[in-house]
Amino acid sequence: MAGLGADPFLAPALGAALIQWLQQLAALEGAAANTVEAYRRDVARYLRFLSTHRGGAEGIAAVARITQSDLRAWMADERARGLSARSLARALSAVKGFTAWAADRTGTDATTVLSARGPRFRRKLPRPLSEDSASEILTEIGEDAREDWIAARDTAIATLLYGLGLRISEALSLTGADHPLPPTLRITGKGGKTRPVPVIPAAAEAVAAYVALCPFDLTPTEALFRGARGGPVNPRLIQSAMERARLRLGLPATATPHALRHSFATHLLSAGGDLRAIQELLGHASLSTTQAYTAVDAARLMEVYEKAHPRA
């Protein structure tokens, strides 16, 4: 993979092992480029720490035999340099992945590292919009656009986020070949994984309205959604349109394009949607990610309860 050069601060054999593991993540497990790069930074920093902490270069077999004391020292060092609990938990996950791979290659016992617990942190819950607010955004987002076709474009994109639960990157990756929208879209999400997403009539109609007004030739191989000069639309334009719409509507700063995707999932769950089905629609690799929406739903119920419950 391009960009995965040898780390000059690591022993050559260990640096080569790190590159080989990262290449496996990308090729066999479909890890996204950003994930691979984050893991490279985390594990390289860990290996450099071990080399200094243990007073010399570490071989691949030695990496799998790290003690609890070594691991605690590394985590303390990471926190001392300002790494958050969430980021350290991610780094530990990367370290465990590399260590498991190294242990498998060398036949060593990596139980100490693989059983280590990461720091606790409070997972941020998604902040969905209410159903009324989501509908208002779809109506309002194109109101201050300079041209009718740009208003239709912004409305169509917002409708895809809320109506289909797409990430903004997924909506903007659609090409002219995707119009008219079919009953089911094949969406390529994180890690290059594809999933089927049913298309609701409102989304198909919103995209059709945009296409009818768009002044550019929407060829099958080029972006469906265009900027004012004809190139692919910049996500920042949609974020800005959403920001202006939320200010006009008096909505909180959490009313972002991604909040529309959160709202899609939360409203489906509130309507009795199956958690596994919602996981598939969102393209989450793990059900635990989708389960965050059950906490959101419970939190909303408690909020209503607190406001409505009579107090003596």
Catalytic residue among 53, 244, 258, 300: 258
| Active-site residue flag, 167 | yes
H/E element, 198: strand 194-198
| Active-site residue flag, 190 | yes
Catalytic residue among 246, 261, 262, 267: 261
* Other beta carbons less than 10 A from residue 135's beta carbon: 12
Residues forming beta bridges with residue 186, ordered by sequence position: 196
Amino acid letter, 43 = V
Indicate the burial class of 282 (C-beta count within 10 angstroms; 0-12, 13-18, 19 or more): buried
**How far from 195 is each of 64, 165, 210, 226, 284, CA to CA, in Å?**
36, 12, 25, 24, 10
**Cα–Cα distance measured from residue 117 to residue 89, given in angstroms and rounded to the nearest whole number:** 9
Classified as helix, coil or strand, 212 is: helix
Catalytic residue among 90, 190, 244, 300: 190
**Cα–Cα distance measured from residue 260 to residue 165, given in angstroms and rounded to the nearest whole number:** 7
| Active-site residue flag, 261 | yes
| Active-site residue flag, 258 | yes
Catalytic residue among 153, 167, 226, 246: 167
Catalytic residue among 39, 162, 210, 293: 293
* Other beta carbons less than 10 A from residue 114's beta carbon: 14
C-beta separation of 128 from 296 below 8 A: yes
Comparing CA positions, the residue from 247, 225, 248 lying closest to residue 237 is: 225
- What's phi and psi for 187, nearest 5 deg? -105, 130
| Active-site residue flag, 244 | no
HEC readout, 264-295: HHHHHHHCCCCHHHHHHHHCCCCHHHHCHHHH
C-beta separation of 154 from 139 below 8 A: no
Catalytic residue among 65, 153, 226, 284: 284
**251 is written with which tokens?**
């909505």
Locus of tokens 């917002």: 158
**Cα–Cα distance measured from residue 218 to residue 207, given in angstroms and rounded to the nearest whole number:** 12
Return the active site residues.
Answer: 167, 190, 258, 261, 284, 293
